[in-house]
Amino acid sequence: MREQYPEIEPYRTQRLSVDDIHNLYIEECGNPDGLPVVFLHGGPGAGISAYHRRFFDPKRYRIVLFDQRGAGKSTPNAELRNNTTWHLVADIEAIRQHLGIEQWVVFGGSWGSTLALAYAQTHPERTMALVLRGIFLGRPDELRWFNEMSGGASWIFPERWAHYLAHIPSEERDNLIEAYWRRLDSEDEAVRLAAAQAWGYWEGGSTTLLHDPNEPGNFEDPQLSLNLARAEAHYFRHGVFLEPDQLLRGVERIRHIPATIVQGRYDIICPMRSAYDLAQAWPEADFHVVLAGHSAADPAIVDALVNATDALADRLD
């Protein structure tokens, strides 16, 4: 099994103002003359982490990472004005132009896979290749699966679901995303934080194949949990600003682009059906189903992703 490349530090960090509100944090790692790749983080609202740099050979790749609007080190923190899928697609293109990159590899997992597909379908001429993990197409059934009473994820992790559900009174449970949003958008900071932590406990603890129902999850930090929950609820209540099946219909625009799809068979957050549907629409893509959950840190997913980026460097560099 392949492991991630060793830890590295950015050789350059900078900020880019993309409108009157938002200022993006950008970092570059690896080889300044290497094969350009942009890393698109999950969430929305989660931000980048140091381990995200490590899916790429630093001797062969120019690795570009950035915090999306309102996330991580981008400012204003947790800002949702002018924050939609299409604002983020425009930001990716603005970063490419700012850095003077002609074409690049686009790498994204979970929400990052959604954004990668939306960007590539909008700018196919700028997309050299795609590496996608934990596929999320933003369809209504996917949103219901993990966040609503009519979904199925509650049957897999009932202990965590009980905690998520208990935060909302029974009379509001017909639309849990909206019920959470009302609390996440409250003027009362304590109400906002309590809702964010309940949201983060449900999602953050449901990512890995080896699951401990008593672990607190990945979003214990109050500010991170608030950023993530507010951004996700904002996007989810708007159908992630996509028409149903829009990204599947748009595959025709990118079928000529080399692509690898990596999917954990037991991914509960972004279940297998979405990756399967994407692969059916895109038979030219390399489709790898591995023994893993949702987390990019699951060993089988790390192995598949590092192999994919190495193979792309062999092919494109």
Burial of 171 per CB tally in 10 Å (0-12, 13-18, 19+):
exposed
Please tell me whether residues 94 and 114 are part of one structural domain.
yes
The catalytic residue among 74, 110, 225, 274 is 110
User: Tell me: the pLDDT tens digits for 4-28?
Assistant: 999 999 999 999 999 999 999 999 9
Q: Report the greatest alpha carbon distance in the chain.
A: 58
The catalytic residue among 67, 267, 298, 303 is 267
Residue 253 inside a domain? The answer is yes
pLDDT in tens, the chain (317 residues): 999 999 999 999 999 999 999 999 999 999 999 999 999 999 999 999 999 999 999 999 999 999 999 999 999 988 999 999 999 999 999 999 999 999 999 999 999 999 999 999 999 999 999 999 999 999 999 999 999 998 899 999 999 999 999 999 999 999 999 999 999 999 999 999 999 999 988 988 788 877 676 666 656 677 888 889 999 999 999 999 999 999 999 999 999 999 999 999 999 999 999 999 999 999 999 999 999 999 999 999 999 999 999 999 999 97
Partners of residue 61 on adjacent β-strands: 35
Cβ count near 289 (within 10 Å): 17
Give dist(CA 277, CA 39) in Å, integer.
23
Residue 123 inside a domain? The answer is yes
Q: Which residue has the tokens 């990756």?
A: 275
Please tell me whether residues 33 and 113 are part of one structural domain.
yes
Please tell me whether residues 25 and 174 are part of one structural domain.
no
Residue 2 inside a domain? The answer is no
Please tell me whether residues 249 and 132 are part of one structural domain.
yes
Residue 3 inside a domain? The answer is no
Give dist(CA 212, CA 189) in Å, integer.
30
Handedness of CA 48, 126, 37, 304 (dihedral sign): positive
Give dist(CA 297, CA 44) in Å, integer.
18
**Considering the entire predicted model, what is its pTM?**
0.96
Please tell me whether residues 98 and 227 are part of one structural domain.
no
Q: Of the residues 217, 239, 261, which one is the last residue of a structural domain? A: 239
Domain extent, residue 162, equals: 141-239
Give dist(CA 44, CA 111) in Å, integer.
6
Please tell me whether residues 202 and 252 are part of one structural domain.
no
The catalytic residue among 57, 123, 294, 298 is 294
Give dist(CA 295, CA 243) in Å, integer.
27
Please tell me whether residues 248 and 276 are part of one structural domain.
yes
DSSP 113-151: HHHHHHHHHH-GGGEEEEEEES-----HHHHHHHHSTTS
Please tell me whether residues 37 and 121 are part of one structural domain.
yes
H-helix or E-strand containing 276?
helix 272-281
110 is catalytic: yes
Q: What is the DSSP letter of 47?
A: -
Q: What is the DSSP letter of 251?
A: G
Please tell me whether residues 28 and 133 are part of one structural domain.
yes
Give dist(CA 172, CA 187) in Å, integer.
19
H-helix or E-strand containing 179?
helix 176-184
Can you give the CATH number for the domain in which 258 is found? 3.40.50.1820
Q: What is the DSSP letter of 159?
A: H
Please tell me whether residues 24 and 95 are part of one structural domain.
yes
Task: Count how many domains the chain has.
Answer: 2
Please tell me whether residues 250 and 128 are part of one structural domain.
yes
Residue 4 inside a domain? The answer is no
